[in-house]
Amino acid sequence: MPVSPFGPVPLTPTAFLSRARAVHRDRPALVDGNVRRTYEELAQRCERLAGALAGMGVDPGDRVSVLAPNTGLALEAHFGVPWAGAVLNALNTRLSAGELAYIVGHAGSKVLLVDSDLAGLARQLLAELGGDVRLVVAGGADDELEALLAAASPLQVPVEDELSLLSINYTSGTTGRPKGVMYSHRGAYLQALAMASQTGLGARSTYLWTLPMFHCNGWCFPWAVTAAGATHVALRKVDPERIWRAIREEGVSNLCAAPTVLTGLANGPWADAGPAERPVAVATGGAPPSPALLARMAELNFDVTHLYGLTETYGPAALCEWKPEWDDLDAGEQARLKSRQGVANLVSQPLRVLGEDGDDVPADGNAVGEVLLRGNNVMLGYYRDEKATREAEHDGWFRTGDVAVMHPDGYVELRDRSKDVIISGGENIASIEVEQALDSHPAVLESAVVAEPDEKWGETVAAFVALRPGHTVTEQELIEHVRSRIARFKAPKRVRFGDLPKTGTGKVQKYVLRDGLRTADPAD
């Protein structure tokens, strides 16, 4: 095969900022509270961040950790750290000092950049870690970063190998030590293009940062929004009132969020003030949004697209791509279709659902199997963990551990995480199906269903429910409501009321609920 004298040029998502700088130089790039920066100003800061890191002894291939909410620092790190030739490690701001110390130590980071609001936590984690990690505080009275940027020379280390390591993102570690998921420059570049294209981002778009940038590098949206020349609007805290204020005052057109965040947006005085003036394209992942929630969001001028993916797939590997012929369906049917996980995104291979016999399940919407993924947006592997990498692989495909069906139209619909399937008296019960039945009750704000140990049945269905403000419903009323909608044996035996425990990205922590059931008094 002949080799072109004109390329190829290694792919890297940092190239999107270079292009945005050239094309959208004086247009708004970032709104962060009272701070507003153009793309030229953003690029200059990222180049100087790269130079400052090099001045601190960061060499190409070294790791740099960042502990920050959704601020300018978090965004700048997604370009400045790679421009130094270093590997970005974005840290979950909701973790404890001990958990963070393990991650920073396992990554072997040389520098820790931290937002001033989290400086105390950063110092605590470094005290637990020991070793020689340079701490740099951004903002507040102890700010050191601005002086370092002012003194630094601009730097962009060229990418020689597009499959080289760009970032390391650590899994939640709910079943053991968190694993470091390795992203390549090529994978992030292609995933960012898919996200920009399939969520409708353009130069007129304004993207609100409700999804944490530490989560799968914000599903690659730091690079996707920049590729589109759109405006980033930073949001330090995910709060429904603040989100609605940004939507109404900044003209937000796009955001990403877990269904629990959407639940907060759909309820309360901020929603009662009326729908958004401008249509808001929402990408949501995690647990499937209920048809009732999707219908409510549509009333508020939010167009919700359900996405599916994992940390190991740079965020969304699939999305429920809307078809024009669905436009004329009734609202209930549209909501049902939207709640599916869908088809592979533009840079993914078609999804597979593999049965226990090792063959692909029939596309009948009934046969269940494990979802397998493959493509440029699947991780390089787990950092310093070859055993876990091997265990996640099946004939070149990534094993997700998610249980799903394949519909006749080729769209995948999750039935559960394999660990969340409830087996009661030999019958498999999908917690998602029960949750959707619960969520259809007008008094229910959100719900979570897990398995509860039972001497007779092995496991029974236990439901945890948060009610809408001002609403009441009894346990028995909810059980009967579920029985009226799905098979009676799938209805919960018990319902507990109260707030649901959640991760920093808004996902319900089902393992916390399960652990509580295992340790609870049987007579409770």
**What is the CATH classification number for the domain harbouring 300?**
3.40.50.12780
Asked whether residue 171 is domain-assigned, the answer is yes
Residue 54 and residue 137 share a domain = yes
pTM: 0.84
Residue 259 and residue 175 share a domain = no
Q: CB–CB of 506/238 below 8 Å? A: yes
Residue 156 and residue 110 share a domain = yes
The Cα 320–Cα 460 span in angstroms is: 31
| Domain of 133, in residue numbers | 31-184
Q: b/e for 332-360, b at 16 or more Cβ within 10 A?
A: eebbebbbbbbbbbbbbbebbbbeeeeee
Helix, coil or strand: residue 318 = strand
Pairing of strands 393-394, 381-382: unpaired
Phi-psi region of 426 (alpha: psi -120 to 50; beta: other; left: phi over 0): left
Asked whether residue 193 is domain-assigned, the answer is no
Q: Which residues pair with 259 in a beta bridge?
A: none
In this predicted structure, the answer to whether residue 71 has a pLDDT above a threshold of 80 is: yes
Instruction: Mark which of 417, 446, 480 sits at the end of a domain.
Output: 417
Pairing of strands 302-310, 280-284: parallel
Asked whether residue 217 is domain-assigned, the answer is no
Residue 454 and residue 369 share a domain = no
Neighbour order of strands in the sheet with 134-138: 134-138, 109-115, 63-67, 87-90, 165-170, 180-184, 381-382
Instruction: Mark which of 184, 205, 225 sits at the end of a domain.
Output: 184
Residue 455 and residue 353 share a domain = no
Asked whether residue 214 is domain-assigned, the answer is no
The predicted-structure confidence for 358-388, as pLDDT tens digits, reads as follows 999 999 999 989 999 999 999 999 999 999 9
Asked whether residue 387 is domain-assigned, the answer is no
Asked whether residue 205 is domain-assigned, the answer is no
**What is the arithmetic mean of pLDDT over 257-286?**
89
CA atoms within 13 A on the CB side of 16: 28
Residue 85 and residue 45 share a domain = yes
In this predicted structure, the answer to whether residue 426 has a pLDDT above a threshold of 60 is: no
Q: What was the pLDDT predicted at 505?
A: 61
Residue 252 and residue 330 share a domain = yes
**What is the arithmetic mean of pLDDT over 334-351?**
91
Residue 256 and residue 353 share a domain = yes
Residue type, 478: L
Q: Which residues contact 185 (CB under 8 A, 6 or more apart)?
A: 10, 11, 12, 13, 14, 82, 159, 161, 162, 163, 164, 166
Residue 293 and residue 158 share a domain = no
Q: What was the pLDDT predicted at 523?
A: 43
Domain count, the chain: 3
Residue 145 and residue 42 share a domain = yes
The closest of 61, 84, 75 to 154, measured between CA atoms, is 84
Q: Which residues contact 409 (CB under 8 A, 6 or more apart)?
A: none
In this predicted structure, the answer to whether residue 520 has a pLDDT above a threshold of 90 is: no
Asked whether residue 160 is domain-assigned, the answer is yes
The Cα 27–Cα 6 span in angstroms is: 31
Residue 432 and residue 317 share a domain = no
Residue 173 and residue 281 share a domain = no
Asked whether residue 11 is domain-assigned, the answer is no
Instruction: Mark which of 360, 390, 417 sits at the end of a domain.
Output: 417
Pairing of strands 109-115, 343-344: unpaired
